Structure 1
Amino acid sequence: MNNKELEVVSKLPASKRYEYFIKKVADFEEVWALFDDGWAVSEDDNGNTLIPFWPKKEFATLCAVEEWKNYKAEQIDLSEFMQTWLPGMKTDGIKPSIFLNNEDSVVIEIDNLVLDLQEELEKY
């Protein structure tokens, strides 16, 4: 991935970054998160626990700052993400935070994320 794409995509509105996430994740069949003796988590304004996910390593690495400065981007296989991660997160009441850019992200219900991913995967 070149720096121009990294810069341009990172500055897109959250809804456009979400669309990019769905397409790239379906394309490469991988999701990225930050890990350092545990996965990076955050909270929304209502106190809900969020786990941030990105479509590519480079985007995740851009968010490895401040409290996550020692975190490294880790790849998650898409089938594992959809079959293990998302059901487990739903059970635990944790929401996915899609494509954080250190300013905002799309916090989405897991069922909607699964539907969007399945819809995109059917195109392949």
Structure 2
Amino acid sequence: MSADQIKAFYSQNSQERYDVVVEAAKANQKLWTLADDNGCVVLDSGTEQCLVVWHDEAIAADWGKGDFDGCKTVAISLSDFIEKWAPGMTDDGFDIAVAPSLAGEGIVLAAQELADELS
């Protein structure tokens, strides 16, 4: 993805970005997140612990620039997300932040809700 395409993606509102992620994840059968040697990036909103996901590796990498420079992109197959990640995250009390803006704004939902939408 080009820098202009990434910029255009982030110029959309949270619902538009969410819709793009869901449709692209269904088409590509994968989600992307960021991780370092200690595990996946989890954002703490004060009330929620959220795994951050995207539909595109380049967008995930771009979002990680700066605060998460030591992180690498990690692909999650849709089947693994639906069958393993979502149930585990639900058991552990983690939510999902779907493609937050560069300012950290985005749709947050339960992992199982996203899994249901992606099924």
TM over 0.5: yes
The residue type equivalent to 1:77 in the other structure is: S
Tell whether the 8 Å contact from 2:30 to 2:55 is kept in structure 1 after alignment. yes
d(CA) in 2 for partners of 1:115, 1:76 = 16
The residue type equivalent to 1:110 in the other structure is: A
Alpha-carbon RMSD: 1.3
TM-score, normalised to structure 2, is 0.90
The residue type equivalent to 1:21 in the other structure is: V
d(CA) in 2 for partners of 1:114, 1:81 = 7
Tell whether the 8 Å contact from 2:33 to 2:74 is kept in structure 1 after alignment. yes
- How many residue pairs end up in the alignment? 117
Tell whether the 8 Å contact from 2:94 to 2:110 is kept in structure 1 after alignment. no
The alignment partner of 1:67 has SS state of: coil
- Unaligned regions of 5+ residues in structure 1, if any? 119-124
Q: Which residue of 2 aligns with 1:121?
A: none
Q: Decide which moves more: 19-28 or 96-105.
A: 96-105
The residue type equivalent to 1:106 in the other structure is: I
- Unaligned regions of 5+ residues in structure 2, if any? none
d(CA) in 2 for partners of 1:4, 1:65 = 16
State the shift of 1:81 in Å. 1.0
d(CA) in 1 for partners of 2:118, 2:72 = 25
Tell whether the 8 Å contact from 1:10 to 1:59 is kept in structure 2 after alignment. no
Tell whether the 8 Å contact from 2:87 to 2:112 is kept in structure 1 after alignment. no
Q: Which residue of 2 aligns with 1:2?
A: 2
Q: Decide which moves more: 52-61 or 64-73.
A: 64-73
Q: Which residue of 1 aligns with 2:22?
A: 22
What percent of counterpart residues are identical?
21
TM-score, normalised to structure 1, is 0.87
State the shift of 1:6 in Å. 1.6
Deviating beyond 4 angstroms after TM superposition, the runs of 4 or more aligned structure 1 residues are none
d(CA) in 2 for partners of 1:2, 1:62 = 11
Q: Which residue of 1 aligns with 2:71?
A: 71
d(CA) in 2 for partners of 1:101, 1:62 = 11
d(CA) in 1 for partners of 2:3, 2:69 = 20
State the shift of 1:3 in Å. 3.0
Q: Which residue of 1 aligns with 2:59?
A: 59
